[in-house]
Amino acid sequence: MNEHQVFNWPVRVYFQDTDAGGVVYHASYVNFMERARTEWLRTHGYSNAGLMTAFGVMFVVRSIKLEYLRPALLDDMLDVTAQVHEIGRSRLNMRQSVRRGDEVMTTGEVNLVCVSRETFKPVSVPEALLLSWKI
């Protein structure tokens, strides 16, 4: 196991993120977490499009596990975290959370696989990414 620094990304809850009662719709948390992972990647000098161009790879979600602890509401300002938990040859496991202040709304574990852009078959995580992640 290799714990890394926690990345935070602010997200405002918009009307489109909620159900009829103004509560964040369960699937919206997946979108919030995707944004945080994308911005985490950018802080390391890469975009998703850049990975495809530079290395011919992309990360795809293999599995995701979410625990809903408290409801987030319309207009809430949330912090979405992303943290590398484990890295394998072609696998990246990240832990994520959605918080409102000190309250944890949702936690998640996302398992990603590095795949070839052309074949969608698993490939090794490029060494340059591991170096930028300081692994």
Q: What is the pLDDT of residue 131?
A: 87
At residue 89, does pLDDT exceed 50? yes
27-51 per-position pLDDT tens digit: 999 999 999 999 999 999 999 999 9
DSSP state of 17: G
Reply yes or no on whether the pLDDT at 2 is more than 50: no
CA dihedral sign of residues 46, 124, 3, 110: positive
The domain spans of the chain are: 7-132
Conformational region of residue 64, where left means phi above 0, alpha means psi within -120 to 50, and beta covers everything else: beta
Q: Taken in order 11, 16, 18, 22, is the CA torsion positive or negative? A: positive
Total count of residues recorded for the chain = 135
Whether 19 is catalytic = yes
Q: What is the mean pLDDT of residues 94-107?
A: 98
CATH of domain 7-132: 3.10.129.10
Choosing from 19, 75, 79, 102, the catalytic residue is 19
φ and ψ at 75, to 5 degrees?
75, 0
Give me the pLDDT at residue 19, please.
Answer: 96
